[in-house]
Amino acid sequence: MQTVLILNGPNLNLLGKRQPDIYGRETLADVEWACREVATEFGFGIRLLQSNAEHQIIDWIHQAREEAAGIIINPGAYSHTSIAILDALNAFEGPVLEVHISNIHKRESFRHHSFVSQRADGVIAGFGVEGYALATRRMGSLLRPR
Ligand code: CA2
């Protein structure tokens, strides 16, 4: 069975526990549940991971080259700073979808640019945590075009 990695960057471990006005009340465990349901419909598996460390996210992307059919990534604040994560994603051959819970374009100007978007095959922003399940659905279409 194909696996899709759902990678989450810094501070997203706090999801559902702080700033519910911006990020909502659902946790990463809720996100994992919702994405797994969609992935099962399409016949693939998911692995959801979170790290506050840039090098860890890069290492997971490298591993994905051998182990994953696609990557869904919310790089958190590294979206706006990390050429290293962009470089790692550029070495991955499968589809890459970028998710932002908040609408980064409606927020501070330093959030408007994402290095990762240069590699992403699609970007979802401002759909709340539902964006992850939507991205998982899209990943299903990309991996198994009808
Ligand atoms: O909207 C998004 O998903 C972001 O990637 C979230 C990042 C932010 O730096 C990006 O600009 C946009 C921040 C993640 C912080 O997550 C928290 C969740 C709950 C409570 C506190 C932080």
Q: What confidence tens digit (pLDDT) does each residue in 75-104 have?
A: 999 999 999 999 999 999 999 999 999 999
Give the residue extent of every domain in the chain.
3-75+84-110+127-143
- Residue 66 CB-density burial (10 A; 0-12 exposed, 13-18 middle, 19+ buried): exposed
Query: Ligand 1 test: best mutation among 12, 28, 54, 80, most atoms within 8 Å of CB?
Result: 12
Q: Whose CA is nearest to atom 6 of ligand 1?
A: 76
Q: What is the percent of the chain where pLDDT is above 70? A: 99
Spatial neighbors of 32 by CB under 8 A, at least 6 apart, are: 6, 46, 48
Per DSSP, 80 falls in state G
Measured between alpha carbons, how far is residue 11 from residues 16, 43, 75, 95, 114 in Å?
11, 30, 10, 25, 17
Residue 144 — very low, low, confident or very high, per pLDDT cuts 50/70/90? confident
70 strand-pairing partners: 4
**Tokens 């240069």 identify what position?**
118
Instruction: Give the pLDDT confidence of 32-42 residue by residue, as tens digits.
Output: 999 999 999 99
Residue 145 — very low, low, confident or very high, per pLDDT cuts 50/70/90? low
Does the annotation list 102 as a binding residue?
A: yes
CATH superfamily ID and name for 3-75+84-110+127-143: Dehydroquinase, class II (3.40.50.9100)
**Tokens 């840039």 identify what position?**
54
